[in-house]
Chains A and B, each alone.
Chain A
Amino acid sequence: MSVSETYVRYRQTLSEEPLAIGVLLVALWMAWSLVSGLLTGGIQISSLASLVWDGLLRGLIIGLAGIGLSMTYSILNFANFAHGDYLTSGAFAGMATSYLIAGIGENSVGALLLVGAGGSVFGGALGIGVTTAPVAVVVGALVAGVATIALALLIDRFVYRPIRDESGIALLITSIGVAFALRYLLQFVFGAGVRGTTAAGSVPRVSVPAIDGTFRVTAHDVSLIVVAGGLMLGVHLLLQRTKLGKAMRAMSDNEDLARITGIPTERVIRTTWIVGAGLTGVAGYMFILWKGTLGFNDGWLLLLLVFAAVILGGIGSIYGAIGGGIIIGLTASVSVIWIPSAFGRAAAFLVMIVILLFKPEGIFSGRTTA
């Protein structure tokens, strides 16, 4: 390619894609300020490492919750705005179980089941934590998954199934109604306060040395990685090794064709809800265990980030959801190097908007539900 040809091509890009150039310039500026910050010592490597670690864990939660959203988005063809409240419901169900197991005998059952609404019981006093009350945590996580599955199936039966053939927008609007009803029922029952749920002081932690300092890794970080990694691997195997994955791919491509080929579409939808809601419930529980506080708004506040992750990765792709989740989590955490911390989530949304503009099919495009 001659020099003039290259030059002409650059001229073309410059005039046709002003936005792309802008994004590129911003990226270059960010890289430059990061490198110069690290070299001059303005940014410590250990604090960068701790931001990356935090973003990675956040991203795993977003990714785990995103798998469910992505699956229902591609199979039922609508953006489920109630997904965040499924997450909160799972977290409350799981935490209530953990409280019950850890605190039965010394506290009133009602207070335990309400996850200490109104300050009647405190998670810290019960010693909730993966090392201090392992049974309570494991059973809690399982119950979170099962309860969310039950809730999702119930809602699907009475809310979504009667209008299965409506447009995606009608279903989206309906899901907003579900989200409202669920979120404020949770507030009605469990109260509006944000409660601490774990014995934050007694969670074992190690300081991992980075070059110019250390960053902290707690037992809850590790358990989050183990659970998220295990579940993601499980879903991968489920969709790759069984006929279910193939049926789901077929359905997300063309539902009528899938039905003609003899795929029991209703059963596939049910299985989709079971897998998706199970993952969402466990994600909600692990999220709460990891961050140590629980409020009725938590899932809703996470939902937009989950949407960002799913769109980033490409709707219908579980690897996309995981990858998108990690990118979004890292963006939200690490962006505080360049911008004020109040805009961490705003930066994640901006990344999503930029991806939607340049590659609306997502960065892992072309693969659905596998």
Chain B
Amino acid sequence: MSVSDLRGRFEGLFERDVTLVLAVLGVLYLAYILAGVAFGYGLRGQLNAIANLTFYVGVFGMLALALNLHWGYTGLFNIGIVGFMGIGIYTTAVVSKPAAAGGAAQVGGLGLPLFVGITAGVVVAGLFGLLVALPALRLRADYLAIVTVAFSEIIRFTMMSRTFQTFTVPDTIDLWLFSFDPAPDTIGLGGGGGLILNYTNPLEALLRILFLWDPYLGFVSFVEENVISNNPKPVLDGLLYGVFLLIGVGLYYALLSRTGKSPFGRVLKAIREDEDVANALGKDTDRFKLTAFVLGAALMGLGGILWYSARGSVTPPSFRPNITFFIWIALIIGGAGSNTGSFLGGALFAGVLYQGPRYVKNLVQTAFELGSAPRNFGEAMAGFASLDPMPFILYTLDSVSQLRLVIMGVVLIWLMHNRPEGLLGHRKETASSVDLARPRSGGSSGKATAADGGDER
């Protein structure tokens, strides 16, 4: 009775979570579609917007989940996320880029298959996590924060520096007994210009592995003939990639939920609550923290790979600390400590704060024939002299990509004032494996009533 009751309650919880996630995503997508319809977007534009939204929901959801392992479970204040993301994608690029034959303008790579590159990227991000964590985990939370953000900046300086821009690989390498001819002539990080990701498109690589590439091409030409006539492939690619990202989020979620519920995860939560107690109970907390940090860093590396691998190129300025803070805002919106909350936070952040303002701007610009915006704030304010707010509105609309960061800042402040635990933070999982909540019936528990004579209601 009680076991099935418990199972029923768990299933209820699961169902609630699923409905919650679906409801939030549904509202988000519906809002995008309705807004698109209202402002007269064509089908292609509509699908493009959906693909974009799905992409950002996917990547922010994943990265917020990975951060939840660090901060929500273990209490490690890591603000060097973007460094691990950069390491991931740069390693993938170096490993998987085709070997550049001599004289090519771009530096080459090792030319290995993409899945090798992705694996290498994840592993190297994890190794760098180890490198950072080994010394830094002894530090106080705020010191760890500063060390990790400094680390991510060092990574960015390394990507930008001319020292690592390109190395020439000798034609033959002699190793004591045997010599071999490495395929690449040049290899490197590309410096300020970044790297062109001229390996097989990851979507194509994945579909080829699944033997779905030819059916997919057939589907694309079907759509081209019947639904969208002007080159639908990029849009469909985007949509499909978004679907794969959402599957990836599901895998992250499953992995982290399992981790959180495992004995390992319970120790992590105990460390978050009180490291000394966990230590006193005989747990080697340093080891646990190290493992959690490395795992999280590897997941962040994978997040970075999935974010950038489908782009044509990566450049160092993409890896400024701002992205780290975006992911933090996403996690805080959702509520640290809850995996469902982390994903919801990522989705809401992506849909409302990250993509929302830009989408509104695009909609308004397609719907109305607006003149060109003033070039600077002075010209925008000059309109007010003749009681014409139009220049100011145009300028605001034009600078929406900066203003959304102002909005994010204000939202973050508001959240810290009014709801520091986030949307689902009240569901923060406890370190205990049994339910610590008091029974609902107040003072007398179920057993006591049974002893009274089983007078059940």
Contact = CB atoms under 8 A, between A and B. Distances in A.
Contacts of A190: 377
Interface in B408-438: 408-413, 416-417, 420
Given A118-B375, A170-B416, A346-B153, A356 B409 contact: no
B378 A114 contact: yes
A239 B153 CA distance: 35
B172 to A, nearest CB: 29
A177 B413 contact: yes
B207 interface: no
Contacts of B325: 176, 180
Interface stretch (B143-151, B175-183, B249-257, B293-301): B143-151
Given A191-B377, A346-B157, A181 B409 contact: yes
Contacts of A188: 377, 399, 402-403, 406
Contacts of A174: 412-413, 416-417
A207 B402 CA distance: 44
Contacts of B158: 343, 346
B293 to A, nearest CB: 16
Contact of A184 (B157, B403, B416): B403
A285 interface: no
Contacts of B161: 340, 342-343
Given A191-B377, A352-B150, A169 B408 contact: no
A353 interface: yes
A177 B381 contact: no
B160 A176 contact: no
A307 B157 CA distance: 18
Interface in A320-365: 340, 342-343, 345-346, 349-350, 352-353, 356-357, 360
Given A188-B402, A340-B163, A342-B163, A173 B328 contact: yes
A152 interface: no
A282 interface: no
A189 interface: yes
Nearest to B414: A177
B141 interface: yes
Contacts of A113: 378
Nearest to B142: A79
A173 B142 contact: no
A178 B150 CA distance: 20
Interface residues of A, number: 53
Nearest to B401: A184
B135 A357 contact: yes
A120 B405 contact: no
A172 B413 CA distance: 11
A311 interface: yes
A169 B78 CA distance: 12
B160 A117 contact: no
A304 B417 contact: no
Nearest to B132: A353
A183 interface: yes
Contacts of B139: 356, 360
Nearest to B399: A188
Q: Of residues A163, A177, A183, A192, which shows the largest number of chain B Cβ atoms within 10 Å of its Cβ?
A: A177
Given A114-B378, A340-B162, A345 B416 contact: no
Given A163-B416, A178-B409, A184 B402 contact: yes
A176 B136 CA distance: 21
Contact of B141 (A117, A166, A169, A189): A169
Contacts of A182: 409
Nearest to A345: B157
B364 interface: no
Nearest to B143: A356
A111 B143 CA distance: 42
B150 A79 contact: no
Given A117-B376, A162-B417, A356 B153 contact: no
B292 interface: no
B332 interface: yes
Nearest 6 A/B pairs, CB to CB:
A180-B409, A177-B412, A181-B409, A342-B161, A118-B376, A349-B150
7 contacts: A108-B378, A159-B417, A166-B420, A172-B145, A176-B328, A311-B143, A350-B154
Given A173-B416, A178-B409, 4 more contacts: A163-B416, A179-B409, A311-B143, A356-B139
